[in-house]
Structure 1
Amino acid sequence: MKQFKHIIVALFLACLFLWACSKKELPEPPGATYSKHGDTLSHRNGQVCLTCHIPGGTATISFVVAGSVFQSDKSTPSVNGTLSFWSDQGGTGMLYATLEVDGKGNFYTTSSILPAQGVYPQILGTSGDVKTMPIMTPNGNCNSCHGVTDPPIWVN
């Protein structure tokens, strides 16, 4: 009987561990704004979003993470994908958050979803195609590099 109790406790702890390590959803604090599949409210695909969407900028909303995703031709928007933010390379480790790409190929949020140490972003296209950033990024101003000094973010 004592061994049975140990097995039950071990199973409970294993379930608790799996639940704690499962996918985390984007936090939804009151007033948070973020992109959603199919939405067409965004604009200026490919431009540096945080030029305007910062405190004191010309836009009324300040983003913490923002950018654009294209198809393999690097000019056609890749819509309705999902961006994931991981602690380790290749879509491994802890999943900090996910963010949906909207119907215009843009993603954005006003929510502080990135840890201070940085993340490894990964994009999943609607075709099932996956692209992973090979280096850690410490910020969410994605289009400040992608499409400027680095190739645009793309996935089919």
Structure 2
Amino acid sequence: MARPTHAQFDKKKVVAENRRARFDYFIDETLEAGIMLTGTEVKSLRFGEGSIAESYAEVKNGEVWLVNSNVPEFSHGNRYNHEPKRPRKLLLHRREVDRLQGAVERKGMTLVPLSVYFNGRGRAKVELALAKGKNVADKRATIKERDWKREQSRIMRDYK
């Protein structure tokens, strides 16, 4: 049976993407979470600045936090600016938080942010994935499969 595709969310403007996550992890399930931001953080993200390359999410005291994400200071923020690498609270329903916490504790899975974007209503959202880490052999297999698909497309292009 084919692996199900991940859910498509209403992404109007993608600000930051973690492209390495799909290489380093087996993505089991994705979900959309809101993110609590201050005013200068929102302005900085609207300018397209921000990075989630080395960030992760964790469940602490019944809340989900985005840790180690970088939203640089807003250039016109003066003294009201934010701390760039502060932990940011993710907004999820209680049932979702409990399910994620169970998966992380029992199954040894990880919460990885895949992208930060603004939806159709202009709200900042995080695409969060419940993932399991790949070992070296799995990563090699992914590289081999990717190279073969690239070679296939070259052959088909030359064949026409």
Shared fold (TM-score greater than 0.5)?
Answer: no
Q: Which has the higher strand share?
A: 2
Alignment TM class, shorter chain as reference: under 0.3
With the length of structure 1 as denominator, give the TM-score of the two structures.
0.26
Q: Which has the higher helix share?
A: 2
